[in-house]
């Protein structure tokens, strides 16, 4: 185990030849309720995106299903032409309403997703394109294969996966190179720890979604709250600092529509947790 400051500082080689700082921004919650429709305050969403960059964030993660399409459109409006930024997006989930998501891994559909994301983001190449969910109705080789074809065509720089187990990850790696895995992982849910360990062993970026733990852990009770008081930080910031210290391939992407919460999240990269703190946090789940 390493101290949080050493783990949090520095970068990770997320894409061949390109590094990102290890505290990114997840652009899911700049949309409407249920991740559906536009935000209630358009200008505030733009301000959050721009402030994230001002604070040193250089990795923005989104998906075509956020809105749908709304998040990508806002990112283009706020940040294009993305100077010194890495923009990651995802495809492979259909939306049928607020908080309703349906996998669709039909290869022709995934190709269409990439083409439309290129247009909305106004780029010739997507830095990191992630298969949002594996669709069990289609062979993985077809889903990952079409993304590999699109990379060969110059429309994708790097390929990632989301919410996969080790077997699926290794099957995909047998088809093409995989640069990242985005799985649910936080203080309260470490069910993907085996995948994290495999990613660390292979130098694959691990992007935890929902990185700030839910339930009583994030509510500010118990040992987490005690440690937060000791280091004069929010429980959310401690949760993020713990993630950064857990593995050098960890690239959290906390999302928020609040400028205050954004600043707290980014500051977590400089939060000092001792080995004693880490020992306690490691036992919370």
Return phi, psi of residue 145, to 5°. Answer: -65, -40
Give alpha helix (H) positions in 15-99.
42-54, 70-79
Kindly state the DSSP code that residue 60 receives in the 8-state scheme: E
Tokens found for residue 22: 């290890």
The interaxial angle of helices 222-231 and 235-246, nearest 10 deg, is 90
| Choice among 25, 66, 129, 185 that is catalytic | 66
DSSP element (H, E) containing 11: strand 11-15
How many angstroms from the chain centroid is the CA of residue 30?
Answer: 14
DSSP state of 268: G
Query: φ and ψ at 12, to 5 degrees?
Result: -130, 140
Asked about 66 being catalytic, the answer comes back as yes
Main-chain phi, psi angles of 13, to 5 degrees: -80, 85
Name every residue whose Cβ is closer than 8 Å to that of residue 54 and which is 6 or more positions away in sequence: none
> Which are the catalytic amino acids?
66
């Amino acid at each position: 185990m390493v101290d949080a400051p050493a783990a949090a500082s520095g970068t990770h080689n997320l894409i061949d030849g390109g590094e990102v700082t290890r505290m990114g921004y997840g652009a899911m919650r700049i949309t409407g309720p249920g991740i559906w429709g536009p935000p209630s305050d358009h200008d505030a969403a733009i301000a959050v995106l721009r402030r994230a960059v001002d604070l040193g964030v250089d990795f923005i993660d989104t998906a075509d299903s956020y809105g749908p399409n709304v998040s990508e459109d806002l990112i283009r409006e706020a940040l294009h032409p993305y100077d010194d930024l890495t923009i990651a997006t995802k495809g492979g989930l259909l939306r049928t309403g607020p908080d309703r998501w349906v996998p669709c891994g039909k290869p022709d559909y995934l190709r269409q997703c990439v083409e439309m994301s290129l247009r909305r983001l106004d780029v010739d190449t997507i830095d990191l394109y992630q298969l949002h969910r594996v669709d069990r109705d289609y062979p993985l080789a077809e889903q990952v294969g079409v993304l590999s074809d699109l990379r060969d065509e110059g429309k994708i720089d790097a390929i990632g996966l989301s919410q996969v187990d080790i077997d699926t990850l290794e099957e995909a790696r047998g088809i093409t190179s995989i640069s990242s895995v985005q799985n649910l992982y936080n203080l309260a849910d470490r069910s993907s720890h085996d995948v994290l360990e495999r990613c660390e062993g292979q130098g694959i970026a691990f992007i935890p979604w929902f990185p700030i733990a839910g339930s009583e852990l994030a509510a500010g009770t118990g040992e987490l709250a005690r440690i937060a008081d000791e280091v004069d930080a929010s429980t959310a910031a401690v949760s993020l600092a713990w993630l950064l210290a857990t593995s050098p391939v960890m690239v959290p992407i906390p999302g928020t529509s609040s400028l205050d919460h954004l600043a707290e999240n980014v500051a977590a990269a400089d939060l000092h947790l001792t080995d004693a703190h880490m020992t306690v946090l490691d036992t919370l789940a």
